[in-house]
């Protein structure tokens, strides 16, 4: 007995959640894309069974999205959602051929990830004065952690004390899809971490003992607080457009690459599942090399 479209979407969402172990944010994006497509389908063609969906139906939907002036990046993501959905339906034998076979994603102009110059990071960490209180101590440490480990905002917010290994001078990070990775840290940063954890026990009578970073009330940090902190301090030292935790992640990777780090090593440190995601940082390195060549070579 064929499943309904609603059932097919739910089965696919369960697959993403329990087998692929995608993040809640990613799952919601997939689900929204699919609901949007099937709402369009019903409006234009009435109730349509999965095997009856034609490539032309999908092209009509994509044409509408383009008319709505949706960015190429967003359209590509929606195509990716449909492609994954119909690939799953093929495996479930709900369809015999994917209507996505001849659909191609629009070209996206790849922008190089923005990063903070090394001199500006040095200014931030050496010359900027952080408040001499618990909030200042926490703000300095979270910026140090972002720049020295390249971890994502969600990874930092969820970082637990037990994930800090003083003996091996490493931090165990729980990344996307609950994948663990080990990040080495300097002795200086480890000392900051250990001093921070020790200070907690003296500063608070009652506090969240699970998570590493806590606010002045002894509670786990909110993502918005972390974002605002990074934005505030980066605004003091750089004029780049984006001033977010993710920019510090880009900065970590770019500075490693600029100083000769192996691409595979950077991939492991960032927790990327493939080299393709990491290779964008080589472009930043090439831009730097071009600049050096232009300034230093007599025939440049």
Cα gap 265→263, rounded to integer Å: 5
Please confirm, yes or no, whether 281 is among the known catalytic residues. yes
Whole-angstrom distance, CA of residue 249 vs CA of residue 64: 36
Q: Distance between the two ends of the chain, CA-based, in angstroms?
A: 70
In eight-state DSSP terms, residue 282 is H
Least Cα distance to 196 among 170, 226, 166, 231 occurs for: 166
Q: Which residue among the candidates 78, 200, 243, 249 is catalytic per the annotation? A: 249
Q: Is 250 a catalytic residue?
A: no
Does 176 qualify as catalytic in the annotation?
yes
CA–CA gap between residue 64 and residue 166 (Å, rounded):
55
Dist CA 57 CA 53 (whole Å): 7
> Is 283 annotated as catalytic?
no
Q: Which of 176, 181, 203, 283 is catalytic?
A: 176
Per the residue annotation, which of 11, 172, 246, 283 is the catalytic one? Answer: 246
Catalytic residue among 78, 152, 243, 267: 152
Q: Is 119 a catalytic residue?
A: no
Distance CA(300)–CA(291), nearest Å, equals: 10
Instruction: Find the Cα–Cα–Cα–Cα dihedral 129, 135, 139, 142, rounded to 10°.
Output: 150
Please identify which of the residues 11, 181, 272, 283 carries the catalytic annotation: 272
Q: Strands 180-184 and 164-165: what pairing?
A: unpaired
Percentages helix, strand, coil for the chain, rounded to the nearest 5?
Answer: 60, 5, 35
152 an active-site residue? yes
> Catalytic residue positions?
152, 176, 246, 249, 272, 281
């Amino acid at each position: 007995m064929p499943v309904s479209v609603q059932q097919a979407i739910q089965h696919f969402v369960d697959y993403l959640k329990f087998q692929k172990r995608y993040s809640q944010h990613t799952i919601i994006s997939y689900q929204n894309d699919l609901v949007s497509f099937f709402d369009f389908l019903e409006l234009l063609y009435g109730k349509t069974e999965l095997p009856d969906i034609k490539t032309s139906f999908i092209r009509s939907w994509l044409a509408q999205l383009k008319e709505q002036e949706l960015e190429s990046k967003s359209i590509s993501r929606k195509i990716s959602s449909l492609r994954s959905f119909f690939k799953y339906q093929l495996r479930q034998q709900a369809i015999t051929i994917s209507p996505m076979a001849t659909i191609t994603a629009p070209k996206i102009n790849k922008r190089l990830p923005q990063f903070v110059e090394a001199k500006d990071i040095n200014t931030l960490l050496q010359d900027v004065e952080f408040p001499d209180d618990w909030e200042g101590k926490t703000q300095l440490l979270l910026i140090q952690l972002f720049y020295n480990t390249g971890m994502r905002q969600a990874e930092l917010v969820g970082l637990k004390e037990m994930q800090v290994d003083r003996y091996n001078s490493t931090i165990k990070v729980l990344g996307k899809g609950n994948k663990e990775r080990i990040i080495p840290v300097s002795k200086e940063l480890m000392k900051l971490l250990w001093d921070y954890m020790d200070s907690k026990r003296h500063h608070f009578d009652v506090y969240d003992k699970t998570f590493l970073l806590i606010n002045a009330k002894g509670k786990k940090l909110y993502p918005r607080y972390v974002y605002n902190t990074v934005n505030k301090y980066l605004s003091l030292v750089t004029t780049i457009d984006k001033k977010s935790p993710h920019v510090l992640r880009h900065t970590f990777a770019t500075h490693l690459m600029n100083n000769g780090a192996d691409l595979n090593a950077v991939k492991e440190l960032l927790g990327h599942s493939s080299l393709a995601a990491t290779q964008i940082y080589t472009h930043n390195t090439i831009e730097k090399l071009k600049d050096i060549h232009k300034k230093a070579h007599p025939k440049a």
